[in-house]
Structure 1
């Protein structure tokens, strides 16, 4: 295990030509303090647990003290925002410290909220406590759900004021990922018709992360195919847990297929396929039901950027069409089948999944509770005991007749496999989380943290690190939104 001083930096991205980034140190944060840290993420880089309790730990991850071997920089990229070309963007409030070799893989360490860079576009380069806690908790929650994501090591706060809609306090969240390269990183060079730089970036990604693509007849088409497959599988997993990213701009899409840039995200409460979690999304471009379509659109933006390397437009289209939709559909059907308790895929399952979502859309039960409750039900029940046996599900519906009718069809489907209840229920509970980061849960932790009470942040972190387990001590986090949270909203400032 390493101390902060012995972390083994090997900064591969910093060895790219200078055009890809600007080297600069973070801006010091006044009187930083630790809000929370993730021991699980610390283990990814081999950081000893005791290091999290060091007095100077907040200063290091506020950007006030540089780690030996780090080479801080801000990367340049461009992108489409809400479907409109936004031109040059870049790390406007993030500083990449470098890459640390952890057990089995390398992890880039990035400070988000560490001050202005040349890409800040007149912004202050800071993050606020509210958004930093949300990103910290959701990064770790998604990892525990088994969904590809960037990770979060810690949140460091400060009483320094930052203006958003109101005056808030500053914070820095430390993020980890094998790479923070985005779709927009490629769009940047393509928009400037700089094919040499475009090729250098693609070669960097292939050689470092996807070496199997190098053996293909066209390595760059193979890279696009790989990104399409991983993106399709990722978004299928988002849909499966009711996660909404909120701002799927191309500069927020990871070239490695990770969930990247947690801002105005949300997890579904009462189901509504048209739900828009981002208050800034006036036209619903990034609604829940639109996420698969937007992922497809974003891949075409990436494909256009890579076309100087791939060649014919038909090859670009083939790389996307043969990867994204098949990957999304196969992963989604398999995942929903598992959530429903099916051991395998049988003819008619896709229609049944469609009927299930029609039921959810018509009656709006809580999405997470619906699937979790389903895992408690028996596959066989007599008429006399049906109401009691099905109570966990029927209680989620105002129209209980609709629930009963659907449950009859569900039990008929289970009967086609004859799977033992104990086996099925265990599998369903390992697939359907009991706990997700609902907005009200994040908000309760934020409100406590603003009063200098960080125990709720740590309680939420502990709970969401085991989202599939029964945790009586955290039963309150399994509840739907309380009355006080009905008007909560998140926006791009989140």
Structure 2
């Protein structure tokens, strides 16, 4: 019988009714998966995964329950394949995960391949013939699983959460790029972590995630990706009544979250917490092991008796062997204070050893900083930045009640369940820092052990004695706080300034000036807020601002007035247009001066081209998503009823997917006109601006679409 330390059976020993056959055109699965073979499995679901074991029935495996001592549970997706169909297929990510170039397009599949793929992605894959092999004669088998994790939701620890409707199907590796991917289906039915939910997903939420993951990635922000969107005949009951069911197949290098660490921490399960940390350092980040010679050198130079009482290094210690740190009463207090903008104390010299777990935390902090910097620069509101929705890879995941800004409003709340505005747009960087503080708590012992972290006997002694364990946590403080300051704060500010510098047309990273933040960007954002200016249209229209050889704004007021008038609504222009123009001068004076100082920046045509490559013409706003949901739903109903009338929305999803992946307008289209025009689904047309490809989905926000919010329920 299998133990709870992970599935260790050989491929040939797994009963066919337990393993799932992975059909073509999907790439060769890694079997067994590194994740499931490296980490502890739910004991109940491990039954049936050993030699000669009888598998448990699905109604037992999928029963919601408390799961202990496990990172995951083996679980089979509910079979929703009857009447299911493939609504959209993303050939871009299909290529990235390693699908053969001869199978990237739906038109390249046989009827059997189409049917098998749909069955597999809707839970019917176990009925496929297991004798089929790919060219390498390796087994195309997988053992699906769901993650067990906890998390802080709206600021409070919520206990066990887990994948309540998402099931990971298999891991794969792109043989050309070496990139690893994990495919997961969402809306796949109940798992042990569904609690009181049904495990299903409605079409509207699946469509929103399918499109937005691609939109965010195309805007240069790290994200999970979307492979396929499928409809099912499942009727899903929600607040609005019965809704059509759907499944989205999504991909990421890893789905490990902050909450995976938290559940072990709050259960005081140090053994499995370490196992998970080892896996993330080794397999997710592929960090090197701590060098024994480096460890020995550090211990000899700085440790006299015990790590619990570190010696003070001399002030003359070389810079490379000491680290500047800031101190605070505790890591928790420091990070929570930092999130609220509290000052930190003066730095002092203390010898600290950064082991691989500290380096892992630093990687997570830097990636999180770049992710949230991207959110702020493209006007993206996540809506539910709970720790269980935070990827260790700094990926945007779990798209629920998200939104892109319309009018610039720093206090905008896109989730109508967020009554206190915890996850408002302007709060996002601070919340990410707060979440990192919660992750840091789970890693304090491993980080605080410094160079002795692999002395397991010593570690056990420290962790079994409350006073000694406190020394471990105290030793972690300075390292954690330094990472918060340098690897989050500094990285965030640097990345944000570079992104906004490009959006403003002020050149590449080498041209970023600190004063631009205070003299141009902050006043411009304040002006946008005061005059209800559309965030995205602001930058597109600013690209049209012409310097025309003038040296100052006073010499160019006609252009300034034209720029302001284009951005303001008719009502606001009539009521306070002259005031808005005068107030715009407060930041446009500095902006115009910056442009006029450089031959490169004052070239109006080149600057416009550069700006339009980073400022989207098409944005997946909430009103766009809502309109697509309504029309795509009507189109599906026509198809299901056998309506033979011509359906103008038959290819709507493919058009919107293309728009999400190509958001920048004429400059992007110009670079690939032939390929775009050859795609009949997009029906590309050209006008002077090259934006007709987006049709009705760009332009002013309609009255009914202003301020649309979504909830966490879907």
Contact kept? 1:3, 1:51, Cα under 8 Å: no
How big is the shift at 1:391?
A: 3.0
1: CA distance, partners of 2:26 / 2:599: 58
Match of 1:368 among 516, 527, 536: 536
Contact kept in structure 2, 1:394 and 1:404, CA below 8 Å: no
Q: Deviations over 1:323-349 (max 9, x none)?
A: 111111111111111111112123521
Q: Do structure 1's residue 302 and structure 2's residue 439 form an aligned pair?
A: yes
Distance apart, 1:390 and its partner CA: 5.9
Match for residue 377 of structure 1? 545
Q: Report the counterpart of residue 664 of structure 2 in structure 1.
A: 468
| Residue in 2 that maps onto 1:394 | 565
Distance 1:346 1:316, change over 3 A: closer
Residue of structure 2 in register with 1:431 after alignment:
614
Question: What SS is found at the alignment partner of 2:567?
Answer: coil
Larger Rg: 2
Partner of 1:231: 368
Q: Which residue of 2 aligns with 1:188?
A: 263
Query: What is the deviation of 1:405?
Result: 5.0
TM-score (norm 2): 0.66
Aligned-pair CA distance for 1:183? 0.5
* Aligned mates of 1:439, 1:376 — CA distance in 2: 26
Matched, 1:209 2:209: no
The worse-fitting range, judged by mean Cα deviation, of 242-251 and 371-380 is 371-380
Partner of 1:172: 247
CA deviation vs aligned residue, 1:230-288 (integer Å, no higher than 9, x gap)? 10111011000000000000000000010010000000001100000001100000000
Q: What residue is the counterpart of 2:409 in the other structure?
A: 272
Further displaced range: 298-307 or 64-73: 64-73
Equivalent-residue separation in structure 2 for 1:335 and 1:114 (angstroms): 38
Q: Is the 8 A contact 2:210 2:226 kept in 1?
A: yes
Report the Cα offset of residue 392 of structure 1.
4.8
Change (3 A) 1:475 1:412: farther
Say whether the 8 Å CA contact 2:91–2:105 is kept in structure 1.
Answer: no
The question of whether the paired residues in 1 share the 8 Å contact of 2:185 and 2:249 is answered with yes
Q: Is the 8 A contact 1:445 1:454 kept in 2?
A: no
Measure, in 1, the Cα distance between the counterparts of 2:541 and 2:117: 42
- Tell me what 2:40 maps to: 17
- Please give the secondary structure, in 2, of the residue aligned with 1:202: helix
For 2:361 and 2:156, the matched residues in 1 are separated by: 22
Instruction: Name the CA distance, whole Å, in 2 between partners of 1:377 and 1:98.
Output: 50
Alpha-carbon offset, residue 7 of structure 1:
2.4
- C-alpha contact 2:401 2:415 (8 A) present in aligned 1: yes
What's the TM-score, normalizing by structure 1? 0.95
Mapped partners of 1:149, 1:137: distance in 2: 12
Structure-2 residue corresponding to 1:86 = 158
Structure 2, unmatched stretches of 5+, are 1-22, 42-69, 129-139, 292-353, 449-474, 637-648, 667-690
* Structure-2 change in CA distance of 1:213 and 1:318 (3 Å): farther
Once the two structures are superposed, the pairs formed by residues 49-448 of structure 1 within 5 Å of their partners are 49-51=104-106, 54-66=114-126, 68-102=140-174, 103-104=176-177, 105-166=179-240, 167-212=242-287, 214-215=289-290, 217-311=354-448, 312-314=475-477, 315-343=479-507, 344-351=511-518, 352-380=520-548, 386-387=557-558, 391-397=562-568, 398=573, 399=577, 400-401=580-581, 402-419=583-600, 420-448=603-631
User: How much does 1:5 deviate?
Assistant: 6.2
Structure 1 residue runs without a partner (length 5+): none
- Cα-to-partner distance string for 1:140-185 (whole Å, 9 max, x where unaligned): 1111112100001011112321111122111110010000000011
With a CA cutoff of 8 Å and minimum separation of 6, indicate the structure with the bigger relative contact order.
Answer: 1
Are the counterparts in 2 of residues 14 and 98 from structure 1 also a CA contact under 8 Å? Answer: no
Q: Is the 8 A contact 1:373 1:393 kept in 2?
A: no
1:413-457 Cα offsets, whole Å, 9 max, x none, are 212333233332222111111111101111111111211155222
1:3 is aligned, of 4, 24, 40, to: 24
1:459 equivalent to 2:655? Answer yes
Secondary structure in 1 aligned to 2:545?
coil
Aligned to 2:344: none
Shift of the 213–320 alpha-carbon distance from structure 1 to 2, 3 Å rule, reads: farther
Cα distance in 1 for partners of 2:117, 2:523 equals 52
Q: Would the aligned equivalents of 1:63 and 1:111 in 2 still touch at CA under 8 Å? A: no
- Over 3 Å counting, the alpha-carbon distance change for 1:294 and 1:35 in structure 2 is same
Q: Residue 380 of structure 1: CA displacement?
A: 3.1
| 3-state DSSP of counterpart to 1:156 | strand
1:127 to 1:330, Cα distance in 2 relative to 1, 3 A:
same
Conservation of the 8 A alpha-carbon contact between 1:91 and 1:119? yes
Residue range with higher mean Cα deviation, 164-173 or 6-15:
6-15
How far has the Cα of 1:228 moved from its partner? 0.6
Q: 1:51 Cα deviation (Å)?
A: 4.9
CA distance in 1, matches of 2:250, 2:75: 18
In structure 1, what is the Cα distance between the partners aligned to 2:491 and 2:586? 32
3-state DSSP class of the match of 1:348?
Answer: helix
